[in-house]
Structure 1
Amino acid sequence: MTTTHHHSATTLDGLLEYWQEQDIRNVLFELPDMHGIPRSKIVPLNKVQGFIEKGLNMYGGTVTLDTRSFVISGTKYNEEVNYADQVLKPDISTAAIVPWMNNTARLICDAYWTDGTPLQASPRYLLKQVVAELDTLGYQAVVGLEYEFYLLDSATMKPIFDGLHIFNTARNVSSPVIERIVELLPQMGIDIITANCEYGPGQFEINYGPHEAIQAGDLGFTFKNGVKMIAQQLKYHATFMTKPFSDQSASGSHTHVSLISKEDGRNAFLDSDDRHGLSQSAYHFMQGMLKHAPAAMALMAPTPNCYHRFVPHHFAPINVSWGLEDRSAMIRAKNSYDSRTHLENRLPTALSNPYLTTAAVIASGILGLKEAQMPPEPVQGLAENQNNFDPLPATLDEALHALERDEPFRALLGDEFVQVFTTMKRSELARFKAYVTDWERDEYLEIF
């Protein structure tokens, strides 16, 4: 059975009729939470129309649960509203049949209070607001997300093979999971381009095509959760945790972005007369990403574990830098001198929420377009070897402080989102700091 992410049915009646023809029995109403994890209710098909028209109630604090699903005080949507319900309203454009489930379709939902007010800290709402702001400047963003993940034995939680075998064909097909992902995800509208094993043992990278920003967020959400579900069904465990093993590669989610001019439909980042093939808009957008990187990092590297990734000589940025085709820089300019010209932000980690990552990239770029400042000249050699670039925040604590201090960036995201996000993350950090680690026991227990 095949379908596409956007079925041709544009009306609710047409969609329900199509689903009946396809023998769909249940529909997942999915809400992406603050971490990009789906929180859902399963709705029998005969109840779907009523819930689409009236909305589906769900506990209102769901979007702000922390990484352990703890209810965090001070995150606005809990005791402050007497733990009230939110109302999920599905976006019919996200309708898709789920090929790894039986007779099941899905709808991605937006969250509102009963009076119609949106939950402003909801990641999908945030991305929509940022995209609307970019629209006022005359641009549409095209975004591609590029994910790495580890495939583990679900019993031992260890990688499915040892050793470093990047691109090795036997490793590419060492489990049925990757081929199954490549087969099924296009049925959800994810245009897979390449799949291969990566540098770490059991680490893989799968690339798929770019899309308009909100759809890119939806497809990133769909991709990550599809990978996890397919692996689970085949008795494996897929993890997008940034650094699952101390002595192995971290997983990133490089985010590729270009702007289309709404005026003429052309790539606004291309200037064939520029010596680097980049337009003024591309330089300004890039400078925005550089200038607001410390604040944006809180959304792109949202757990303490993420900060193990940013070390020299591991193809991850360690400073606020850009370069031409430089894999050690924070921004890699892909100046192909044609319509494919774009910028690659190498800061986001694989664990990051696709909606928040996309929103952070576009928001910082918007500020760059408005501030109209030029980035420094690109350096010769690797950016990570230069000592004249500012360092990136070294911890989530630092990134959260930068997010709160960056007033223009904060204003674009909205105070409600920033307050909810930072409160939840600081609660998570407090639990992290209170925990006695294996390293501490190994280091101190016997000697002292």
Structure 2
Amino acid sequence: MTAAKFVEKYDLYRPEDHRAAEHAIDTINREGIEVVRVVWPDQHGLLRGKALTVPAFLAAMKAGNEITMAPFFFDTANAIVFNPFSPDGGFDFDGLGGSPNVKMVPDPGTFTVLPWAEKTALVFCDLYMSDGKPFPLAPRTILKNTLAEMASNGYKLVAGIEMEWYLTKVVDNGLGTCSLGAPGSPADPPSVAPVARGYNYLLVDHLDEVDDILRPIRNALSDMGLPIRSFDDEWAPSQMETTFDILDGLAAADAAALFRTTTKQIAKRNGHLASFMCTPAIAGFYANGWHLHTSVADKETGANLMVPTGDTPLSELGVNYVGGTLAHGAAASVFTTPTINGYRRRRPYSLAPDRLAWGQDNRAAMMRVISAPGGHGLSRGEPRRGLRGQPLSLHRGPGRRRSRRHLQPHRPRSGQR
């Protein structure tokens, strides 16, 4: 087998992928694209990859592009936490010893021209071992495997995303005087200033104060076709929330990753810093979070299968979906809240619940169940625990089936919201 036959050899592209590849080539020629950023989300939610020239990108759609798997040995501070030179690299998978290369194979359906970077495009990649098997540690692979299992049972996942983030103005980058960091020790963050003052919520005046900075972000997201619904003024000064229209599972994950990188890069180009960190170490700032509204839908018709038919909060499938999320909630926290910074939010009587519980339209519960009889696009579950601590900025801060009878709603105490 020649290297150029990798994608064909392992039958990695479906007919729609080949059509998308041709469309990507047409776009490259029409737009005069010079560089394509081929990226994949790592285990911490950061985008890794390379900037390929057009000839190298075209070759990657046939042969893949080799890259080291080294980032998967890193913790959130980029310290090596597994021994790459042990027989299995510290993982329970054969073939990972010695930090081998993996193949980045572009997903041509995600090819996107970046409006803020001249003659530059971006495409998400899937990672493969040299034998054509999917790289088992890649988050995109894990998600695709899960969605395939759902599809085999006639289901698909539908998701709506709400993401909170901070917008600050860079006062001093500090380059030349700050610590540049070391493996396991983050670099000193830049000095920043808030862009607003005072705690409020949904205050339109706050949005207007930062409109000049939000506008290029909004325009870029619109140009890329992301289904953005709103930009909101969150509770704390300089805190924003951005919401999306519903998307299927993989598209929702890609959209969230693309939104973060878009927001960060455009803000930085305009002298600002966008932080998705759970609790930035800035006096007066509150914690960031994000919410993932999810429904299980019929794979063929798209009908929401969680809509209740009687006086129950959700359908039987919906109840089991919530029950499974509760059953695996503690274990899932290892992945959804990977930092001490994120765990600092876990406390009673807060908007980041600290126990396994569900409640009907109750923001204090881990699983907020939103029930809409007859509202076929509305009934859903909103996991609120653990999805609020992704370490994605330069700042540093200080299932199983269950029957309906196993689920008892969380009753808030006085003062809980």
Q: Distance in 2 between matches of 1:383 and 1:309?
A: 20
Q: Secondary structure at the match of 2:254?
A: helix
What is the aligned partner in structure 1 of residue 204 from structure 2? 169
Equivalent residues in 2 for 1:19-30 (5 A)? 19-30=28-39
Do residues 199 (structure 1) and 230 (structure 2) align? no
Going from structure 1 to structure 2, the CA distance change for 1:330 and 1:267 (only over 3 Å counts) comes to: same
Q: Distance in 1 between matches of 2:89 and 2:117?
A: 32
Give me the TM-score of the superposition, normalised by structure 1: 0.76
What is the aligned partner in structure 1 of residue 114 from structure 2? 98
Tell me by how many angstroms 1:380 deviates: 4.4
Q: Distance in 2 between matches of 1:14 and 1:301?
A: 38
Give 2:80's aligned amino acid: V
Give me the TM-score of the superposition, normalised by structure 2: 0.81
**Larger relative CO (CA 8 A, sep 6+): 1 or 2?**
1
Is contact 1:60-1:77 (8 Å) kept?
Answer: no
Is contact 1:328-1:384 (8 Å) kept?
Answer: no
What is the aligned partner in structure 1 of residue 274 from structure 2? 238
Q: Secondary structure at the match of 1:117?
A: coil
Q: Secondary structure at the match of 1:154?
A: strand
Q: Distance in 1 between matches of 2:385 and 2:404?
A: 21
Is contact 2:68-2:102 (8 Å) kept?
Answer: yes
86, 89, 99: which is aligned to 2:105? 89
1:331-350 deviations in whole A, cap 9, x for unaligned? 11111221111111111434
Is contact 1:299-1:352 (8 Å) kept?
Answer: no
Equivalent residues in 2 for 1:313-392 (5 A)? 313-337=349-373, 338-339=375-376, 340-352=378-390, 367-368=399-400, 370-372=401-403, 374-382=405-413
Is contact 1:59-1:83 (8 Å) kept?
Answer: yes
Give 2:117's aligned amino acid: M
Q: Secondary structure at the match of 1:114?
A: coil
Equivalent residues in 2 for 1:49-448 (5 A)? 49-74=58-83, 76-77=88-89, 81-155=97-171, 156-175=191-210, 176-245=212-281, 248-262=285-299, 264-276=301-313, 278-337=314-373, 338-339=375-376, 340-352=378-390, 367-368=399-400, 370-372=401-403, 374-382=405-413
1:200-223 deviations in whole A, cap 9, x for unaligned? 111110101121111111111111
The Cα RMSD (Å) is: 2.6
What is the aligned partner in structure 1 of residue 44 from structure 2? 35
What is the aligned partner in structure 2 of residue 413 from structure 1? none
Give 1:167's aligned amino acid: L
Paired residues in the alignment total: 366
Is contact 1:321-1:383 (8 Å) kept?
Answer: no
Is contact 1:90-1:108 (8 Å) kept?
Answer: yes
Q: Distance in 1 between matches of 2:365 and 2:156?
A: 25
Structure 1: gaps spanning 5 or more residues: 1-6, 355-366, 387-448
Give 1:163's aligned amino acid: G
Is contact 2:39-2:47 (8 Å) kept?
Answer: yes
The percentage of aligned residue pairs carrying the same residue is 25
Give 1:172's aligned amino acid: L
Q: Distance in 2 between matches of 1:272 and 1:184?
A: 42
Greater share of helix residues, 1 or 2? Answer: 1
Q: Secondary structure at the match of 2:67?
A: strand
Q: Distance in 2 between matches of 1:343 and 1:86?
A: 36
Is contact 2:44-2:391 (8 Å) kept?
Answer: yes
Tell me by how many angstroms 1:199 deviates: 0.9
